[in-house]
């Protein structure tokens, strides 16, 4: 296992995230009339939208960067159309954070802040995929992809089979500038299953191979795929391998990301 550093990826730092947060919250206030009764509380509302804004940005960029890694492994470009798909996969995001607060003013706001936060998160995801913003983000991600593809091609002349990203708190590590990309080598994993890709992944032999607590990935035509829902595009019957990272490699990745 080797740590893969990226100058382009380092541009996605806390300052960049905070600028995006300010942009999203400003847009929301511009386009959604806040009831007059809350006008004097606008600063409070902005403060309360801080965490929902972070959640939206982190979730989207986490998904987008995972897509970049997979495209690098496959040797294919990332399209703008693929980025637009991600806001529609965020239905569980609201449940991942409780917007209940012990602050006294919530007794006056009643349920208004909860509803505002939920509404804001849906709108914020849309704002990030509007034409001009989408083009900017696609350009950033494409730059990251091009840089790490060059690194990957150089490393793959040896025993490297593909790129992997860190596991827990992946999105938060990005903003902190910590290592999140790793080159996986042939002796870093064990093959749990080799066989034809089933038409339906759920309940298949290859899915059963991933039932433990380990960290899994897939190999298809010698190319690494980071997680299961990306194998749906592999033709049924093609040979795939289900692989598990060795415990010592997982530990090394966790330590490198601390």
The DSSP annotation for 55-84 comes to HHHHHHHHHHHHHHHHHHHHT-PPPHHHHH
- Name the residue among 27, 62, 63, 60 with its Cα closest to residue 46: 27
Model confidence over 15-64: pLDDT tens digits?
A: 999 999 999 988 888 887 665 555 566 677 777 788 888 888 888 888 88
Long-range contacts of 5-8 (CB under 8 A, 24+ apart): 5/179, 5/181, 6/144, 6/147, 6/148, 6/151, 6/181, 7/147, 8/140, 8/143, 8/144, 8/146, 8/147, 8/148
pLDDT at 189 (0 to 100): 96
pLDDT the model gives residue 89: 54
Neighbours of 189 (CB within 10 A): 23
With a cut of 80, say whether residue 166 has pLDDT above it: no
pLDDT of residue 156: 81
The pTM of the full predicted model, rounded to 2 decimals, is 0.84
Classified as helix, coil or strand, 120 is: helix
pLDDT at 105 (0 to 100): 35
Closest CA to 133 of 97, 84, 168: 84
**pLDDT tens figures, 201-251:** 778 888 898 888 889 999 999 899 987 567 777 889 999 999 999 999 999
The confidence score (pLDDT) of residue 182 equals 94
Q: pLDDT value at position 108?
A: 41
Tokens encoding 178: 């910590």
Which strands, in side-by-side order, build the sheet including 216-220? 189-196, 239-245, 216-220, 223-225
Domain boundaries, the chain: 2-141
- Cβ contact 8:137 at 8 Å: no
How confident is the model over 98-156, as pLDDT tens digits? 444 443 333 344 455 666 777 788 888 888 888 889 999 999 999 999 999 999 999 88
H/E stretch holding 240 reads strand 239-245
């Amino acid at each position: 296992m080797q740590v893969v550093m990226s100058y382009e990826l380092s541009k996605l730092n806390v300052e960049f995230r905070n600028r995006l947060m300010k942009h999203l919250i400003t847009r929301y206030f511009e386009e959604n009339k806040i009831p007059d009764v809350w006008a004097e509380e606008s600063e409070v509302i902005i403060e309360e939208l801080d965490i929902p804004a972070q959640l939206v940005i982190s979730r989207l960029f986490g998904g987008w960067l995972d897509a970049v890694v997979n495209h690098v492994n496959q040797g294919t470009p990332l399209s703008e159309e693929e980025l637009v798909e991600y806001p529609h996969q965020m239905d569980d995001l609201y449940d991942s954070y409780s917007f209940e607060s012990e602050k006294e003013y919530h007794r006056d706001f009643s349920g208004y802040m909860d509803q505002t936060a939920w509404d804001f998160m849906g709108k914020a995801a849309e704002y990030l995929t509007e034409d001009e913003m989408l083009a900017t983000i696609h350009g950033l991600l494409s730059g990251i992809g091009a840089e790490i593809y060059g690194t990957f091609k150089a490393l793959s002349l040896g025993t490297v089979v593909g790129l992997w990203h860190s596991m827990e708190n992946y999105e938060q590590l990005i903003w902190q500038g910590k290592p999140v990309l790793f080159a996986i080598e042939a002796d870093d994993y064990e093959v749990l299953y080799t066989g034809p890709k089933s038409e339906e992944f759920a309940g298949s032999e290859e899915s059963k191979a991933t039932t433990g607590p380990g960290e899994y990935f897939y190999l298809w035509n010698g190319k690494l795929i980071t997680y299961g829902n990306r194998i749906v595009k592999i033709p049924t019957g093609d040979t795939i391998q289900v692989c598990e990272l060795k415990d010592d490699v997982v530990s090394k990745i966790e330590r490198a990301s601390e």
